[in-house]
Amino acid sequence: MMMEQKRVVREHFFFYGHVQGVGFRYRAMQAARSCDVTGYVRNRGDGSVELEAEGTPRAIEEMLRLIERGRWISIDRIVRCTIPVEGSRSFEYRDEYW
């Protein structure tokens, strides 16, 4: 039996749609913490939400599935890219970026 590889990656996301004022950041924080993903989430001045997530690829995908199930959240588009791992230890809200 092979052990699952515990490769850690960090991804940077921008979520567009009905994503502010609907509990998106709270939902993201709960999803990230339940999936053992670290990083941050914050609103942006253009109405989008920015999120950085660090964890295994599987954990990040599960976090995204949980976020997308948010009751009032309506995501029209996600822009994502892989960035260097930072070794963050928690998932947090950050001040809004204007």
How many domains does the chain divide into? 1
Q: Which helix (H) or strand (E) holds 22?
A: none
Average pLDDT over residues 60-81: 95
Segment 11-47, tens digit of pLDDT: 999 999 999 999 999 999 999 999 999 999 999 999 9
The CATH number of whichever domain residue 65 belongs to comes to: 3.30.70.100
DSSP 44: B
The token pair at 67 is 């976020």
pLDDT at 2 over 60: no
Q: Which domain holds residue 31?
A: 20-93
58 falls within a domain: yes
pTM listed for this prediction: 0.90
Q: How far apart are CA 56 and CA 71, in angstroms?
A: 26
Active site residues: 25, 43
The number of beta carbons lying within 10 Å of the beta carbon of residue 53 is 27
